[in-house]
Amino acid sequence: MVSRDEAEKLLRKYNPNEALVYHAFCVEQTMARFATEYGHDAEYWALVGLLHDIDWGMFPEEHCKKAPELLKEIDVDDAFIHAVCSHGWGLCSDIEPRLFMEKVLYTIDELTGLVYATALMRPERMQGMSVKSVKKKWSSKGFAAGVNRDLIAQGAQMLDIPLEHIITLTIEAMEKASDKIGL
């Protein structure tokens, strides 16, 4: 399997914008948190999260379609590639998330954006953030308007996990990585 350092180098090669890298770090940490919570390989899940938007920075019009080609540059298996491509299901990909890991990625990709935006509005950023804070911002449709709340809710339903628990794990993961993601 590819090392984390190699994965980050590939990420930065195709995503020169630091905001995209921060987003990848958020998803990486959140995927690792979910893997740990549910007894899966945290290192593998984290790498999937880190590289999930590998093609977004340079090929946004080919998002989730260019990823397999780019991921061939490193040592990842077909399941890894399938997971990366499935997170765009219904938006830019017809690859449906079927495995638990894929459903988590599908759900938390957008959610990390909402949590990040919520943190930016708070003086203490990620420290002490509550589910209530995120849910309040969730209800304000003008806040982080680019975040697809319906997709997050659909993902929670696919996972059969209460949205509040998904938000809790996402906050925990991002709080742990707050210095790495500028929060």
pLDDT tens, position by position, 77-119? 999 999 999 998 888 888 999 999 999 999 999 999 999 999 9
The pLDDT, as a whole number, for residue 111 is 98
CB 11 within 8 A of CB 21: yes
pLDDT, tens digit (0-9, with 9 covering 90-100), for 29-83: 999 999 999 999 999 999 999 999 999 999 999 999 999 999 999 989 999 999 9
Domain residue spans in the chain? 4-176
Average pLDDT of the residues of the chain:
96
Q: Which residues of 34-64 are buried (b: 16+ CB within 10 A; e: fewer)?
A: bbebeebeeebbbbbbbbbbbbbbebeeebb
Averaged pLDDT for residues 126-154: 96
Please state the pTM of the whole predicted model: 0.96
Distances (CA, A) of 13 to 17, 27, 53, 73, 116: 10, 18, 12, 11, 23
Tell me the three state secondary structure of residue 18.
Answer: helix
CATH 3.30.160 holds for 4-176: no
